[in-house]
Amino acid sequence: MDAKDLRIGNLITRHDLGTSEPRIETIIELRKDKVFTSGPVTVICDYEDLNPVPITDEWLLKLGFTQDGDEYSKDNFIVRLNRRDLVIEGFEYDYNGIVISTEYFYVHDLQNLYFVIKRQELIRKN
């Protein structure tokens, strides 16, 4: 992953050093050449050891969105997750929404976009 795409608090996947199983962890510190993540323990790793978390229905619920049919909403930020598109509606200044391809759009991207629009962190609830 690229350092410029990440912020403190972003959720990423890192393979456990002991078991090689993927773990969801939170970035707690970013440095030029290393990343500090928090899971069961704090780990220092390289950016290339990190992988993005794909956006799924399950992740939208974990991030505090509520589901109503095919829409997920949180604080007037509405997401419709379709086959390959993430439709985001609810901008105070634009009710038409925008469409973003989810092929290369991940949980950390949604966290970053939510912060830019709502000025609040989007964190995992469970």
- Report in angstroms the alpha-carbon separations of 56 from 85, 117, 126: 12, 21, 15
pLDDT tens string, the chain, 126 residues long: the values are: 888 999 999 999 998 777 778 889 999 999 988 999 987 788 899 999 899 999 889 999 999 999 998 888 888 888 888 766 777 776 655 556 777 777 778 999 999 999 998 899 998 986
- Please give the pLDDT value at position 61: 95
Q: What angle (nearest 5°) sits at the alpha carbon of residue 55, between those of residues 10 and 112? A: 35
pTM of the predicted structure, to 2 decimals: 0.84
CATH top-level class for 3-51? mainly beta
What letter does residue 55 receive in the DSSP assignment? P
For 107, the 3-state DSSP assignment is helix
- Please give the pLDDT value at position 96: 64
Task: Parse the chain into domains and list their residue ranges.
Answer: 3-51, 57-118
- Reading across the β-sheet that carries 77-81, which strands appear in turn? 66-68, 71-74, 77-81, 85-89, 98-101
